[in-house]
Amino acid sequence: MFEVRLHGRGGQGTVLAAGILAKALVAEGKHVVAVPQFGFERRGAPVAAYLRASATPMRAMTNIYAPECVVCIDSSLPRVVDIFAGLRAGGTLVQASRLAPQDIVVPPTVATIAVCDAIGIAREVFGRPITNTVMLGAFARATGLVSLEALDRALEETSFRDGGLVQNRRALALGHARTVVHRTGQREAA
Amino acid sequence: MNEVVEKTAPLTEPAAEGIAQGPDKAVTKKEPKILVCDGNEAAAWGVVLSRPDMVAVYPITPQSSLAEYVAQFVADGVLDAELVEAEGEHSVLSVLHGAALAGARTYTASCGQGLAFMFEPYFRTPNLRLPIVMSIVNRDGITPQCVWGGQQDAMTVREVGWVQLFCETVQEVLDTIVMAYRIAEDRSVMLPVNVNHDGNYLSNGIVRIELPEQAEVDDFLGAPDVNWHAALDPKRPMGVDPLTGGATGPGPALFVGYRRGHCEGMQNALRVIVDVHEEWARRFGRRYAPLVEEYRLDGADYALVTIGSMAGAAKDAVDAARERGEPVGLIRIKTLRPFPLDAMVTALDKVRAVGVVDRAVSYGWNSGPVHQETLAALQYCPHRVPCLSLIGGLAGADLTEAHFAHAIAETARLLVSPCPREPVWLNAEDR
């Protein structure tokens, strides 16, 4: 089993990103449970979504408290939310940021830091800082858990249409291409 | 140094034991269509497959996306139904009364405060014997302000005379909505059915499900059979819902006849629910316990009683406890109304103590509603079974495997010490 927690702000598509990732993982033969964190649906408010994937069916429809990986699709969120809460030793951070991975402040137990200038890419592609599909590309690059091809096909199964679909496919590909992955030397989570 | 890390997915754990809802091996079909969706979308697909003639909805969290999916399906031509966006839930159900009396297969969904606003026509629906299917995307009650899951809504209306089914999984939501039409329209039942799925964890929880073939569902459901008994039909003029009862006119006997007939319809529903689930398993390969699921009761000294989506984590906790040698099992109620007395007594009779986990409160009894239902059933058990109330999952609170490990430990204590009168509040320390 592999557990991921996605952090973002209302309006950036965090919950939708978990749904797209779920579709891609199922297409590659995995079972998934993706559950959004429940709060008021307000633009800009911190939101989170949980996803667990496994080779076998899972029964528990619950939140995730000890993820192997945290994906943060907003660069300012770590200042207001403890995005590392419960992250397992040897875990992975995939962070939207213009900083270099070595300049990201993480707990000493983090083994992998992946960084993507998702807001820069989103502004380039959409003209707006909507970073969810960019960061799915970054997640695929950082973890290898899902292929870029499966994510690309999953985009077609969403409500994205026409020009929006083209933009999101490009955002995904750029997120994947422009992610920098850094190993801290910590042992990776089992 | 920056480097791209290649990792292999660590997704090779063995199958969890006792996942009872996989395909029946005896059924061989062509590859089913797979959907990756949440419970609200699954419910909407169940509606599509059931081909209602009319859908009326008013959005309310956490039901809203279900209403939106149905509206989208109508707009896209996926569902050929008349969609009524009424000005409120009272009108929603009143519109469906008219539609059902005119012979239409109908659907709606609501929850929480929406259900409260719907209560007046909701009360009349089963007495009119209208086979309307309605999802309740279970939501806790206000106040304090709360838009999250909990079963206070459905539990509060459990004496109104609707059939009430509670789903554990997203797949079960889809399958049960289709089955609900067969149950509701059975001529020995003729009652509305609530298909309950927990707000948040089921309504918005995304998993992989299978979509049945439309042609096979058409064959399973048959044509709508809705208004043979009471109709708004110029060719069959009749008085629908006339003034009945009192001490004059037809006298009390006619009214008593309606009430007794309603109770008989509810009791008939027990058999029909079993038969319909059996036929579903045979045709579609997915088998669900229709009334009461017994999970690992063989060799169990005590058991948890659960209802709704909490059962997944609870079963994981039972498996873990069994591995530690603790003799615990689980009873899941799928059908709450009509209450499945015989099935429940059969299950309760296998253990010496139970802990009932409610996602709602019985204010009158300082416990949970399902706890009270279980106590009533225990009157019919040949031996005395202590029965503890545990309340959790209110207002969207998570009920994890750890919460159920706690519930199991509290229930185990009943074997050696008196049963507390106070409920155990499972999320009382969660901040």
Residue among B16, B204, B207 minimizing CB distance to A32: B207
Q: Total structural domains in chain A? A: 1
- Is residue B112 a contact partner of residue B118, using CB atoms and an 8 Å limit? no
C-beta atoms of B312 and A145 within 8 A? no
**Prior bond to B144 cis, omega within 30?**
yes
Give the pLDDT of residue A186.
85
Identify which of A26, A35, A38 has the shortest CB distance to residue B36. Answer: A26
Counting the structural domains of chain B, the total is 2
Q: How far is it, in rounded angstroms, from Cα A141 to Cα A135?
A: 10
Same domain, B207 and B306: no
- Provide the pLDDT confidence category of residue A188 given band limits of 50, 70 and 90: confident
Q: Given a cut of 60, is residue B28 above it in pLDDT?
A: no
Task: State pLDDT tens for residues B31-75.
Answer: 889 999 999 999 999 999 999 999 999 999 999 999 999 999 999
- Residue of chain A minimizing CA distance to B210: A26
Task: Give me the domain span that covers residue A86.
Answer: 2-183
Summarize the confidence of residues A138-162 as an average pLDDT: 95
Question: Which residues in chain B touch residue A53, judged by CB atoms under 8 angstroms apart?
Answer: 9, 11
ipTM, interface predicted TM-score of the complex: 0.96
- The residues, ordered by sequence, that sit 6+ positions from A96 with a Cβ below 8 Å of its Cβ are A72, A73, A74, A75, A116, A117, A118, A119, A131, A134, A135, A138
- Contacting residues of A for B23, CB less than 8 Å apart: none
* Mean pLDDT (chain B, rounded): 93
Partner-chain contact B401 A144, CB within 8 Å: no
- B332 vs A37, residue with greater confidence: B332
pLDDT computed for residue B171 by the predictor: 98
Say if residue B413 is in the same domain as residue B311. Answer: yes
Q: What is the mean pLDDT of chain A?
A: 95
pLDDT in tens, B240-286: 988 887 877 778 888 999 999 999 999 999 999 999 999 999 999 99
**Residue of B206, B312, B401 lying closest to A22 (CB–CB):** B206
List the single best residue of B38, B145, B206, B359 to mutate versus A (max A Cβ within 10 A): B206
**B102 belongs to a structural domain:** yes
Q: What is the average pLDDT across B371-398?
A: 97
- Biggest CA–CA distance in chain A, Å, is 44
B88 & B198 share domain: yes
| CATH number of the domain within which B415 lies | 3.40.50.920
pLDDT confidence of B293, banded at 50, 70, 90?
very high
Tokens (6 digits) for A138: 């970054």
Regarding whether B52 and B177 lie in a shared domain, the answer is yes
Q: B297 with B415, same domain?
A: yes
Q: Which two tokens stand for residue B197?
A: 């799925």
Classify each residue of B57-78 as buried b or exposed e, where b means 16 or more C-beta atoms within 10 Å of its C-beta: bbebbbbbbbbebbbebbeeee
Provide the pLDDT confidence category of residue B234 given band limits of 50, 70 and 90.
very high
Interface of B with A (CB under 8 A): 1-16, 19, 22, 34, 36, 38, 147-149, 169, 198, 200-202, 204-208, 309, 311-313, 315-316, 396, 398-401
Chain A: nearest CA to B252, how far in angstroms? 50
Q: Does the pLDDT at position B94 exceed 50?
A: yes
**Rounded Cα distance, B291 and B266, in Å:** 13
The share of chain B scoring above pLDDT 90, in percent, equals: 87
End residue of a domain, out of B221, B251, B268: B221
Beta-carbon pairs below 8 A across chains A and B: 118
Q: What integer is the mean pLDDT of B216-231?
A: 96
- pTM recorded for the entire structure: 0.93
Q: Cβ of A183 under 8 Å from any chain B Cβ?
A: yes
pLDDT on residue B20: 45
Q: Which residue range forms the structural domain that includes residue B405?
A: 292-425
CB B107 within 8 A of CB B52: yes
Domain co-membership, B197 together with B76 = yes
User: Which CATH number goes with the domain that contains A100?
Assistant: 3.40.920.10
d(CA B51, CA B383): 47
